[in-house]
Amino acid sequence: MEMQWPLILFTLFMAWSAGVFGTAAVLALAGGGKRVQMPALVTSVVLLAVGGIAVFFHLEHWDRIFNGFGNPTSGITQELIVIVLMAVVMVVYFVYLRKPEPVVPRWLAVAAIVVSVALVVVMSHSYNMAARPAWDSPLLWLAYLGNAALFGPLTVTLLAAFFPDAEGVSEDAPEAVSTEAVARAGSVLATSGVVGAVANAVLSVAWGASVVMSAASFTEVGLYWDPTHPNYPIANPAEAANILSGEASLLFWIGVVVIGCAVPVVCAALGRRKGAPAVPLAGVGLACAIVGAVCLRMVFYSAGASVFMFY
């Protein structure tokens, strides 16, 4: 199947936005990262907007998108609903951050995490269809959630370098309070980074395994001739699902596994060490995570052969 770049960018930026917003909420629950909350929220909003704009380039007649909103079971309608819900939570989040005492209540932080997860799940669920076996698996939801869990901590770590908690503590507060705030935020981000990197690696590889196993869904067709394509050989749809040694194998092994999974895990593990250069490691890890996520989506489309498509 040909690459659908607008949708690749749409799912990439949506997962990235959800990851950043969810990570900010986790920091709020832990009581750290107060100064990075607003930059993280703004970053998440921008990523959400970029993803929303990207999806319109997939449509030749984007104005017809409104026709689909009348069907509540359509994927695009469900995506719109959860995006609106996320926007509402973001607005409430912004209101609390603009108060004299910018403290995010626990219920709001939990709501932010829930809506972030819901966005990724609903977005990826739209691609589940029985006609394309390689796509028809809940492991796709988990793979995209793994992307979000990796994007979030790495991005917020970079933002926290410019908005450290130490500057958010009043001058009258003891030095121990400042040190504790910085340590708490650093510990949460470091732990989240490792968990996200490992989750991304495990879930991406698990999704790859499900794609390979989807080959069993195809039925071998014997002699067949299509008068509209007399010179075309019979295609083997199951070959598209062979991402381990087929045409998409380099994208999967090098792009997804090595660059997108292994390198971020190493960066996250090194980042937990005392005195480690967290910002350069987060930058390298995030860059590799983005490359890996794009490669995963390219493999996704490469393996998306239809059970009805023999040519």
DSSP 306: -
Note the pLDDT of residue 274.
Answer: 80
Which tokens in the block code for residue 76?
Answer: 């695009």
Question: How far is it, in rounded angstroms, from Cα 132 to Cα 111?
Answer: 33
For residue 84, which phi and psi values (nearest 5 degrees)?
-65, -45
Q: Where are the beta strands (DSSP E) in the chain?
A: none
- Residue 310 is predicted with a pLDDT of 52
Give the pLDDT mean for 135-164.
Answer: 92
pLDDT of residue 66: 65
DSSP result, 167-201: GGS-TTS-HHHHHHHHHHHHHHHHHHHHHHHHHHH
**pLDDT over 70 for what percent of the chain?**
79
C-alpha distance from residue 166 to each of 21, 180, 181 (Å): 22, 9, 7
Q: Check residue 226 and give its pLDDT.
A: 66
The predicted structure's pLDDT at residue 34: 85
pTM for this model (two decimals): 0.86
d(CA 162, CA 234): 57
Instruction: Say how far apart CA 188 and CA 3 lie, in whole Å.
Output: 37
Please enumerate in sequence order all residues whose Cβ is within 8 A of that of 272, keeping only pairs 6 or more positions apart, or say none. 190, 191, 193, 194
Rounded-to-integer distance, Cα 237 and Cα 220, Å: 9
Region 57-81 average pLDDT: 72
Where does the pLDDT of residue 171 fall: very low under 50, low under 70, confident under 90, or very high at 90 and above?
very low
Q: Which tokens go with 114?
A: 């829930």
Distance of alpha carbon 188 from alpha carbon 12, whole angstroms: 24
Q: Where are the beta strands (DSSP E) in 100-184?
A: none
* pLDDT tens track for 236-271: 666 777 888 878 889 999 999 999 999 999 999 998
**In the structure, what pLDDT confidence band is assigned to residue 170 with cuts at 50, 70 and 90?**
very low
Mind listing the pLDDT tens digit for each residue in 186-216? 788 888 889 999 999 999 999 999 888 887 6
Of 285, 117, 115, 258, give the one whose Cα is nearest residue 190.
Answer: 285
Neighbours of 89 (CB within 10 A): 19
Nearest to 7 by CA among 302, 298, 304, 306: 298
Overall average pLDDT of the 88-108 stretch: 93
For residue 187, the model assigns a pLDDT of: 80
Weakest mean pLDDT among 98-102, 218-222, 279-283 = 218-222
Top-confidence range, 32-46, 127-141, 221-235: 32-46
Q: Measuring CA to CA, which residue among 171, 169, 192 is closest to residue 180?
A: 169
pLDDT tier for residue 169 given thresholds of 50, 70 and 90: very low
**Best CA proximity match to 267, nearest among 204, 202, 198:** 198
Confidence of residue 150 (pLDDT cuts 50, 70, 90): very high
As a whole number, mean pLDDT of residues 140-161 equals 94
Backbone angles phi, psi at 47, to 5 degrees: -65, -40
CB 190 within 8 A of CB 272: yes
Q: What is the pLDDT of residues 177-188, one digit of tens each?
A: 445 655 666 788
Average pLDDT over residues 31-40: 88
User: Residue 217 carries which side chain, given as an amino acid letter?
Assistant: S
Q: How far is CA 237 from the centre of its chain?
A: 28
Name 146's Cβ contacts closer than 8 Å, sequence gap at least 6. Answer: 196, 199, 200, 201, 202, 203, 204
